[in-house]
Chains A and B, each alone.
Chain A
Amino acid sequence: MSKSSITKLLDAKGVRHDGRKFNELRPVTMKVGVLENADGSAYIEFGKNKIMAAVYGPREVHPKHMSVPDRSVLRCRYHMTPFSTDTRKNPAPSRREIEISKVIREGLEPALILTDYPRTAIEVYLEVLQSDGGSRCASITAASLALADAGINMRDLVVGCAAGKIEGRVVVDLDDVEDKEGEGDMPMAILPNLGQVTLLQLDGRFSRKEFDEAFKLAKDGCMKVYDIQRKALMEKYFGAEETGEQ
């Protein structure tokens, strides 16, 4: 939907431009183990986002002097393909992609037991095939699935979901239009079982009350995404038994 065709982000009944309620997520699907050559992989569709995640490792660090004697080095590369946006995106890593790579790495690190793999590197590659708002949250969700698929020791899965403010109302999971036209965006990633926040950014101005509301909405959104994430892993690893039993 182009920007000009949107008159209002939120109508009088509180329905958003794409027909969602304030606490409703976009449709989410995930699949684990989609790539043959990676040690672990996952694919996520989060609304119009389509993101592929691949994990390699633990493997030898190159260049070797970058290795750390007592733990593994986690490397993340978030990249948008040239065809992922409405106008061609230069494939060279932009400032924004470098920042997102960093926050994803820092969002995943608390979940991983890096000290179990000394002197190695774990590499996470995230390719955005089609982008919509909230791709960093979708990426972190896919990355943690790929890491679990690679058999790397993890304290918990990591799951991301954003909240934001449009027309003065706090809503969950902004899409591209709401992100650009709205008043604020707050991506968040959590460790759902351990109850920890690993990523929290805020772009815009929120009052204390609005922040609390957004935090709660994003957390509830994360828990909904977590259910889907679990089902995707279940399907890959225990799916056959489920159908066998019924």
Chain B
Amino acid sequence: MGEEEKLQKSKGKGKAVMPGDELAVIEAFEAGSNTFVDNGEVRALRVGYAEPDKKQRVISVKPSRGSIGVPKPGDVIIGTVETAQPSIANILIEEINDQYSEASFSGMLQSSGDPRARDRRRVTCKPGDVVRAHVYSVKNSIYHLSVDRPEDGVLYTICSQCGGSVIRVRDSVKCNECGYLEERKLASDFDQYQTSTPQKAQ
């Protein structure tokens, strides 16, 4: 394949590979990210550039486009509250680790049960709120979310009585229009957070 060899010698980058292409034999390189081993050969899993690390003897593939993320424990997500009950809320996940997600995964935000939390039985958010949370478990095919960390919590909300804008008053929000005060678990950057236009993964 003479034509392909030309393509493979792109400047500064490794050679262009497609799924299934042989990258190396396992005697020469170990399988890095986006590769797999089949019958003693390291092969590519994605379209991208092969990146051999000659010091570590690991070969990996740098994908040409971002992958569609699936939440896993430890990931930070941003989502909208769809339904909220006193101890449980359903979150529509819209961002996973700062990457916009169209996959419409939904997560379950539960009260932490942490005795140090101010009120460990309650989840303080309302439908429509934008919240930041982290995934702590994916057991039983459910994305279990938590807002225990200081940086997690409500990022954007409006008054549940009149729809007016709110300001932070310690652990609560106060409506600028009607003065209604209600409790929220606010993120530490509640005042600074700005929503951005969603960008599709490229």
Contacts and interface: CB of A to CB of B under 8 A. Distances in A.
A153 B102 contact: no
Q: Which of B7, B22, B36, B105 neighbours the largest number of chain A CB atoms within 10 Å of its CB? A: B7
Interface of B: 1, 3-4, 6-7, 9-11, 16, 18-22, 34, 36, 38, 43, 45-48, 63-68, 70, 102-106, 138, 140-141
Contacts of A242: 6-7
Contacts of B22: 193
A53 B24 CA distance: 32
A60 B47 contact: no
Contacts of B34: 153
Contacts of B141: 64, 67, 69, 119
Contact of A118 (B18, B64, B70): B70
Given A58-B103, A60-B104, A233-B47, A155 B36 contact: yes
Nearest to A234: B7
22 contacts: A59-B103, A60-B106, A69-B141, A111-B19, A113-B36, A118-B138, A148-B46, A149-B47, A152-B67, A154-B20, A155-B38, A155-B45, A156-B43, A191-B20, A194-B20, A194-B38, A227-B1, A234-B4, A234-B18, A237-B48, A238-B10, A238-B64
A157 B138 contact: no
Contact of A151 (B67, B70, B104): B67
Contacts of A154: 19-20, 45-46
Interface string A117-151: 11110000000000000000000000000001111
B45 A113 contact: yes
A59 B94 CA distance: 12
B70 A120 contact: yes
Nearest to A68: B141
B106 A157 contact: no
Interface of A: 39, 57-60, 64, 67, 69, 111, 113, 117-120, 148-157, 191-194, 227, 230-231, 233-234, 237-238, 241-242, 245-246
Contacts of A64: 141
| Most-contacted residue by chain A among B65, B68, B105, B138 (CB, 10 A) | B68
Given A59-B104, A67-B141, A151 B63 contact: yes
Given A58-B103, A154-B45, A193-B21, 6 more contacts: A59-B102, A119-B141, A148-B18, A148-B46, A153-B34, A234-B18
A181 B83 CA distance: 60
Contacts of B4: 230, 234
B117 to A, nearest CB: 28
Nearest to B3: A231
A39 to B, nearest CB: 6
A58 B67 CA distance: 9
B200 to A, nearest CB: 9
Contacts of A69: 140-141
Nearest to B48: A237
A58 B7 contact: no
A152 to B, nearest CB: 8
A245 B10 contact: yes
Nearest to B36: A155
Contacts of A194: 20, 38
Contacts of B65: 151, 237
B46 to A, nearest CB: 6
Contacts of B10: 238, 241, 245
A153 B68 contact: no
A64 B105 CA distance: 10
A81 B106 CA distance: 34
A246 B70 CA distance: 39
A234 B19 CA distance: 12
Contact of B105 (A59, A157, A227, A230): A59
Contacts of A57: 68, 103
User: Which 5 residue pairs spanning A and B have beta carbons closest together?
Assistant: A156-B20, A59-B103, A193-B20, A154-B19, A153-B45
